Amino acid sequence: MNKFLVVIFLMSLGMVKAQDNPLLKDFNTPHETAPFNTIENEHFLPAFKEAIKQGETEIEKIRSNKETPTFENTVVAMDKAGRLLSRTAGVFFNLLSSETNDELQKIAQEVSPMLTKFQNDIYLDPVLFERVKRVYSQIDKHQLTPEEKTLIENSYVEFVRKGANLSEKDKEKFREISTEISKLTLEFGENVLKETNAYELLITEKDKLSGLPEGTLEAAAGKAKAKGKEGWLFDITMPSYLPFMKYGDNRELRRKLYIAYGSKSFKGNEFDNQDNVKRIVELRIEMAKLLGYDNYAEYVLERRMAMSPEGVYKLLDDLYDASHKVALEEKAEVEAFAKQNGFEGELMPWDWSYYSEKLKVEKFDLNDEMLKPYFKLENVVDGVFGLSTELFGITFRENKDIQVYNEEVTAYEVFDADGKFLSVLYTDFHPRAGKRGGAWMNDFKGQWKTDGVDSRPHITIVMNFTRPTETKPALLTFSEVETFMHEFGHALHGMLANSTYSSLSGTNVYRDFVELPSQIMENWAVEKEFLDRFAKHYKTGENIPDELVNKIVASQNYLAGYLSIRQLSFGYLDMAWHTLEKPYKGNVKKFEEKSWERTQIFPSIDEVCMSTQFGHLFAGGYAAGYYGYKWAEVLDADAFSVFKEKGLFNKEVAQSFRENILEKGGTEHPMVLYKRFRGQEPTVDALLERSGLK
């Protein structure tokens, strides 16, 4: 019997005391951060069980209160309930994404239905709902702050949207549906990660690697060496995959890697997600109909800025009309360039990055390899931190006494301009087997205020950036710099949170608003005044030449039409799945092709499928919400135009953005907050102008 099973067995016999579990003790650490050095996998399941038990006790106290329901004894009490559970889940689910293993994944499968049951027990309880409903009915009879009013409204609406008005029979059905969804979305994500980790391409003949930059070859040789192999090892994580697609002269190997990347969980093997996609969609339809909606998108969008499927399609269609013709012109230009350079036949998806990158070099004399020496990771960190200091007055200090979950993670204390502690920030930059792909921000602990004490957040940003090699530090591509700034924008939203109630704090906002703080930060990446501050050659220390900065700016809108159409294709696919009104029993690939047909400018490849690896939709929180990236682009372009007009580092504008957007979280409707900052509703004009599509 392994260590994990032994501990669980002993816990069941009462031979291991709860007091011995670090997750159930006070965190006697700097800022009460998670004590990762003492947390073992076997601590999680007992901790979840005890935390749920405590949460149930706290909820029962609210439920059985004989006093007349009030804002404080019902709505506020519910916002405060379950904090031990939130803390436990914050640690566990962040590790599940960043540092997972088979044991954690097994625990997740057991814990997920427990958490779903805990939530359902609250929202399907008629006594609790009646208390909330009574407070809600009195909302206009009391003098409330906007935040208090929002908390009451959200509490009532959440009960309704999670089944409180259903019959007892339908409540049971709701329980079954939500429990199965929670299991399947976990399985979906695990399958994609396992498929990613399973693929390797070992190349032993150097002539097959022509075109690849020295740094890429060194990294691939390092990967092979680390696994006791001779040659160059490539995989389908971004730092390995993207350079090969951009620079590898061997077309057949590009095709091979493209299909490996695009066919994740679409091979009919044990990690296949085709049935999971159809079943998750079917369950979402059932849930929506149970709650009185025609489809899942209607249900989701009721609580979004877009408000309805019609609102989403209007945005997508307007941007499609502005982008499609440009995308076709861009494709024709790349095709003509490829033929001039000896290419014969039809341009395929695995040719696009290769030839479009060569055309970019010809047009702008610019590529990643020219820029990377100026984007040493440590310098980029200094630059991004420095930007937030200039804009918002906040500073960062590494604290090695704060425990981390992996030796590659760095923990910082974040302070306001007056020296007041604001947040803990964890940074985690490089890919590894236990980390899912992509980049994200999350919190180990949110922010709230209780009894006059402002409990500050613990924020994490996680990326999959190019690793250092034996001879070079980590040198980022320009795209990786933009990704860092994007996730750091999310982090600012979390770190600067200044709400009273945890459920309204930080990034707890409408999904199509949450990308505004992240996407606006990307705008500075192409500004010369900003780049001059940190972009220094890693060997010579020389500032990035003005000539290179000018080339970055000049190339900013290169392939703007193609990139817009590509993003719109994902939005159309998302809406197609989630506007279905009856289960889909057919072929996932065929459904996908039909859904985004008008956005596709390359021939379809039989072996690849986006839906089976589309974690945003089927393992994350963007179902019926992927359009939010384009929605937020409208907002961020419009908002950044104020900085462009009044100064990139204008403290007055920055303070207004901080006070009206970053600090406010979800305390008021996002359009109210946005108009308070901007003075008007956004228009698409700034986005179309910025991207050269107007």
Give CA–CA dist 533/529, Å, rounded: 7
Per-residue pLDDT at 18 exceeds 90: no
Return the pLDDT at 506.
98
Q: What is the pTM of this model?
A: 0.93
Residue 342 has what pLDDT?
96
According to the model, what pLDDT value does residue 1 have?
39
Q: How far apart are CA 16 and CA 46, in angstroms?
A: 10
- Residue 412 phi/psi, 5-degree rounding, is -120, 145
φ, ψ dihedrals at 475, nearest 5°: -110, 120
Please tell me the total number of residues recorded for the chain in this structure.
Answer: 694
440-445: strand order across its sheet = 395-398, 410-415, 421-428, 458-462, 440-445
Helix, strand, coil percentages (3-state) for the chain, rounded to 5, are 60, 5, 35
Which residues pair with residue 443 across a beta bridge?
A: 459
Mean residue pLDDT across the chain = 95
Q: Which residues contact 6 (CB under 8 A, 6 or more apart)?
A: none
* Strand residue runs (E) in 429-478: 440-445, 448-450, 453-455, 458-462
Residue 638 contacts residue 678 (beta carbons within 8 Å): yes
Q: What is the pLDDT of residue 11?
A: 45
Is 625 within 8 Å of 512 (Cβ atoms)? yes
| Own/partner long-range contacts of 312-315 (Cβ < 8 Å, ≥24 apart) | 312/571, 312/575, 312/624, 312/627, 313/575, 315/627, 315/630, 315/631, 315/634
In the chain, what is the straight-line distance between the N-terminal and C-terminal CA atoms, in Å?
A: 66
pLDDT band at 17 (very low <50, low <70, confident <90, very high): low
669/147 Cα distance (integer angstroms): 10
How much is the CA Rg of the chain, to the nearest whole Å? 26
CB 625 within 8 A of CB 573: no
Show contacts of 174-180: CB within 8 Å, 24+ apart: 174/120, 174/124, 174/287, 174/290, 175/116, 175/117, 175/120, 175/124, 177/283, 177/286, 177/287, 177/290, 178/116, 178/119, 178/120, 178/287, 179/113, 179/116, 179/117, 179/120, 180/279, 180/283
Tens of pLDDT along 585-635? 999 999 999 999 999 999 999 999 999 999 999 999 999 999 999 999 999
CA-CA-CA-CA dihedral for 618, 623, 624, 629, to nearest 10 = -110
In the structure encoding, which two tokens stand for residue 560, read together? Answer: 């703007």
Q: What is the pLDDT of residue 270?
A: 97
pLDDT of residue 14: 42
Residue 226, pLDDT score: 94
Using one digit for the tens of pLDDT, what is the confidence trace for 365-381? Answer: 999 999 999 999 999 99
Cα angle: 606, vertex 608, 612; to 5 degrees: 125
What is the mean pLDDT of the segment spanning 409-419?
Answer: 98
pLDDT of residue 412 exceeding 90: yes
The phi and psi torsions of 473 (rounded to 5 degrees) equal -70, 175
Q: What percent of the chain has pLDDT over 90?
A: 95
Q: Are 146 and 83 in contact (CB under 8 A)?
A: no
Q: Assess whether 286 carries a catalytic annotation.
A: no
Range list of H helices, 341-463: 349-364, 368-371, 377-392
Specify the pLDDT at position 253.
Answer: 98
Tens of pLDDT, residues 123-158: 999 999 999 999 999 999 989 999 999 999 999 999
pLDDT at 42: 96
Q: What confidence tier does 676 reach under pLDDT thresholds 50, 70, 90?
A: very high
What does the pLDDT read at residue 101?
A: 94
- Taken in order of first residue, the domains within the chain and their CATH numbers are 3-165 (1.10.1370.40), 199-262 (no CATH), 274-366+560-626 (1.10.1370.10), 372-492+504-554+629-690 (1.10.1370.40)
Spatial distance between the Cα atoms of 64 and 193, rounded to a whole number of angstroms: 45
Residue 2 pLDDT greater than 90, yes or no: no
Q: What is the pLDDT of residue 9?
A: 45
Helix (H) or strand (E) holding 99: none
Return the pLDDT at 529: 94
557 CB-near residues (< 8 Å, 6+ apart) = 690, 691, 692
pLDDT at residue 6 greater than cutoff 70: no
The tokens describing 440, both together, are 């994200």
Amino acid 684: pLDDT: 86
Q: What is the pLDDT of residues 203-241, one digit of tens each?
A: 999 999 999 999 999 999 999 999 999 999 999 999 999
Mean pLDDT in residue range 304-331: 96
Give the SS3 label for residue 476: coil
Catalytic one among 50, 99, 147, 487?
A: 487
Q: What is the mean pLDDT of residues 13-38?
A: 85
62-82 pLDDT, tens digit each = 999 999 999 999 999 999 999
Q: Is 108's pLDDT higher than 80?
A: yes
| pLDDT over 70 (residue 15) | no
Q: What one-character-per-residue DSSP string does 601-668 give?
A: -S---TT--SGGG-HHHHTSS-TTTTTHHHHHHHHHHHHHHHHHHH-TT-HHHHHHHIIIIITTTTSS
The residues facing 543 across adjacent strands are 536
Residue type (1 letter), 392: F
